[in-house]
Amino acid sequence: MSDTSAPQPTHPICPWCSGELPLAPAETCPSCGATLISDADTPLPGVTALDPEAIIRGIRPTTPPRRSKILAWITGDEGADEEARAAPGSLEPPPPDVRREMLRMEIEAEVADLQAEAGSLAAEAREEGLVEDAEVLEAAADDAAAARREMATDDTHGTSAAADPEAVRSWPAPQPDPAVSDPVSDRDARTPR
């Protein structure tokens, strides 16, 4: 069996740049200038030796020096260390009128998104020559614009549908679109039981 190992280099190689070194031992690499042989083994705090000052700093908690109350009063530096306590009701959910306004804004944003999407789909259909689809999508965009105008006029008169809690409760729940299949139910239907 023959030995298929890689040929051994005849010259030493620099561990930093892999350049060839002269046969005589050198203190620095001629190509990259890296120190190869060091006479002084000086400890480097934090690298080759533990830094005693860092250990002491880690043990002692660093607290800022306290100023006298008179000096703090003169400079206007009042207890910046003390955190202000939160008001008792600051973490409670918002009141119903704020929730209704948030819901109204959310619905208005959804209508605006749908209107923009219908407009862009109508433009694409017109570009592809699908006249019927373009007309349907333009009608949907017009309906969305009318709904936005209606919501805006209701808000100016103070009769927003979201302001009436009964109207909000009577809104129908969103129905799933039959044209879009549910991937979970399709997967369950395909799985043998």
pLDDT tens string for the chain (193 positions)?
555 666 665 778 888 898 888 888 788 888 898 888 876 667 777 777 777 887 777 776 666 666 677 877 787 776 555 566 778 878 888 899 999 999 999 988 988 888 888 878 878 877 887 877 777 777 877 777 787 777 766 654 444 444 455 554 455 555 555 554 444 444 444 455 4
Does residue 185 lie within any of the structural domains?
no
The reply to whether the predicted model has a pTM over 0.85 is no
> What's the total number of domains in the chain?
1
* Alpha carbons within 13 A on the beta-carbon side of 118: 17
SS3 20: strand
Q: Is the dihedral of CA 78, 79, 80, 83 positive or negative?
A: negative
Does residue 72 lie within any of the structural domains?
no
Q: For 66-95, where are the alpha helices, taking DSSP H only?
A: 69-75
Alpha-carbon distance of 150 to 157, in angstroms, equals 11
Does residue 2 lie within any of the structural domains?
no
Domain that holds residue 144: 96-166
Does residue 88 lie within any of the structural domains?
no
Does residue 130 lie within any of the structural domains?
yes
